[in-house]
Structure 1
Amino acid sequence: MNQKAIVIFDIDGVVRDVSGSYRRAIADTVEYFTNQAYRPSSLDIDQLKSEGVWNNDWEASQELIYRYFNAQGQSREQLQLDYNSIVAFFQSRYRGTDPDNWTGYICDEPLLLQPSYLEELTQASIGWGFFSGATRGSANYVLVKRLGLQSPVLIAMEDAPGKPDPTGLFATVEQLENGLNETPAIIYVGDTVADMYTVSKAREINPHRTWIGVGVLPPHVQETPVRSHTYGESLLTAGAAVVLSNVQQLNSVKIEEIVSSQ
């Protein structure tokens, strides 16, 4: 059976709403390591991520801490932040303190798609998988435990360099194609500038294939029309072919429409 297209999903902000989990953990971590002097707002975090290189939330937390102290006149060399301590604190908030029984913010993440949506793609001969900067444990928590997917194709943080490096995207495609002869269009669905840059870089490295970036507005930016518009524009500027307000709008009809317009 010929695949009409392959859709690869980012997870955070696309499959699950992380505004009250990952993003809350960033704010908690920055607040803790600045001795309660600074708690970044949702806009502060968006602004950092719009630079396109802060896909890793541990590194984003560290960068916000550095920038706060830099603004107070302290240099990075003076600070000597302990990255492992930042990661450990972040994880204690996001996963909880018990490594075997997670009780942190991850437990309360609203889902942004249903298994029936993925089933519809399968019925329409559209392959799908996941490439995410989340850890494998965190990604599987939502894909397997909450969505009930059986062994989904997944490239996670441990498997590839961070975005916008497209290595993980290539690896996901390779697993999904599994020796297929045809080369269907590849759609990568993400909610950040880094996700769209990943598609551009994939195109530079392998221009013989069709690479399409589809942007999704994460829930936290949809609170006001102005913020939705500004965020959507940043995704389009970064290379998105189209920006949707929910991933499930990318149904088989929409996919065919987007692929044929390329």
Structure 2
Amino acid sequence: MIIVFDIDGVIRNVGGSYRRAIMDTVAHFTQNQYRPSLEDIDQLKGEGIWNNDWEASQELIYRYFMTQGQSREEIALNYEEIVQFFQRRYRGTDPTHWNGYITQEPLLVDQVYFDDLTAHQIPWGFFSGATRGSAEYVLKHRLRLVDPVLVAMEDAPGKPDPTGLLLARQQLTQRHGLDIHTPVLYVGDTVGDLYTVQQAKEQDPQTPWIGIGILPPHVQTNPEQEAAYSAKLMTAGAEAVFNNVGELTPETIRQRVENSSLTL
């Protein structure tokens, strides 16, 4: 078996970084008439196709102006300007030494967790919609992981297209000398992550694909919101939902694979 992780909301808490940057960007381009809440962003991402936060920001801006009676064709948006503004908030104003929201992201797991997976002979890697620079910042700079398998935004189409997940699986099976149809767990925190697993199943039905949901920290402060978010992940195809990736121990991983094999 192998396990592939999403990064945002799973490895790091992005409620005060990526999502804050979305809020800032939307507010800026709507002349401070609309600042989306975390719930607004969750609702958009619950549609399963807005994994890219630049595109999500643009979509929220479009939707605001449409509520004001404008059509998309009438709304003059420059996507590159949206990206640049977002990046100034997220990465910061210094392109060499980042000083933006990314520097304030709490980690949701530590290096010991991955050492434990390795000790139990469970290969692991990452498939994320984050840019490679952002992903490597947390994996190599913050967690001190050495040469992890990573498929990032630049390497594959955005989720729920499964190309990146298939590529991460290929790299891990080759690196560890495993059969190409070794069971794969993909761990994510959004509906789009789980849709990605479903599409991987369609493209490669011979491989046991197992979707695992993780509740992002910001939904765990409200029991009703937590239950609703968990239900969405399950409906999207999660075989289990956890509050934190640390609960996904080697023993739990093996149990999920065994249970999945019994239902194939």
TM (normalized to structure 1)?
0.97
Q: Paired residue for 2:244?
A: 246
Q: Deviations over 1:152-185 (max 9, x none)?
A: 1100000000000000001101111117353321
Matching of residue 230 in structure 1 with residue 228 in structure 2 = yes
Instruction: Tell whether 2:210 aligns with 1:212.
Output: yes
Deviation at 1:53, TM superposition (A): 0.2
How far off is 1:52 after superposition?
A: 0.2
Quote the Cα distance in structure 2 between the aligned partners of 1:125 and 1:184.
13
| 1:69-218 map, 5 Å | 69-178=65-174, 180-182=177-179, 183-218=181-216
Q: Distance in 2 between matches of 1:239 and 1:16?
A: 23
**Of 221, 225, 240, the match for 2:219:** 221
- Percent identity, please: 60
Distance in 2, matches of 1:208 and 1:77, equals 44
Task: State the one-letter code of the partner of 1:121.
Answer: L
Counterpart code for 1:169: L
Once residues 75 and 150 of structure 2 are traced to their aligned partners in structure 1, the CA distance between those partners, rounded to angstroms, is: 37
The root-mean-square deviation of aligned C-alpha atoms, in Å, is 0.8
Q: Give ranges in structure 1 of 5+ residues lacking alignment.
A: none
Shift of residue 101, structure 1, vs aligned partner: 1.0
Once residues 119 and 185 of structure 1 are traced to their aligned partners in structure 2, the CA distance between those partners, rounded to angstroms, is 20
Post-superposition shift, 1:98? 1.1
- TM value normalised by structure 2: 0.97
Determine the C-alpha separation between the residues in 2 that align with 1:162 and 1:80. 24
In the TM superposition, what whole-angstrom CA distance separates every residue of 1:166-218 from its partner, at most 9, and x where no partner exists?
00001101111117353321000000000000000000000001000000000
- Aligned partners of 1:209, 1:18: CA distance in 2, in Å? 31
Counterpart selection for 1:42 from 38, 45, 52: 38
1:76-108 Cα distance to aligned partner (Å, 9 max, x none): 111121000000000000000111110000000
Equivalent of 1:22 in 18, 21, 26: 18
Between the aligned partners of 1:257 and 1:171, the Cα distance in structure 2 is 25
Please state whether the residue corresponding to 2:123 is helix, strand or coil: strand
Matched residue SS, 1:126: coil
Distance across 2 between alignment mates of 1:224 and 1:31: 25
The count of residues paired between Structure 1 and Structure 2 equals 258
Q: In structure 1, what residue type is equivalent to 2:63?
A: R
Task: Give the gaps of 5 or more residues in structure 2.
Answer: none
Q: Any idea what SS the aligned residue of 1:150 has?
A: coil
Matched, 1:258 2:228: no
Mapped partners of 1:97, 1:120: distance in 2: 37
CA distance in 2, matches of 1:240, 1:261: 13
Cα drift, residue 62 of structure 1 = 0.2
- For 2:190 and 2:15, the matched residues in 1 are separated by 13
One-letter amino acid of the counterpart of residue 174, structure 1: Q
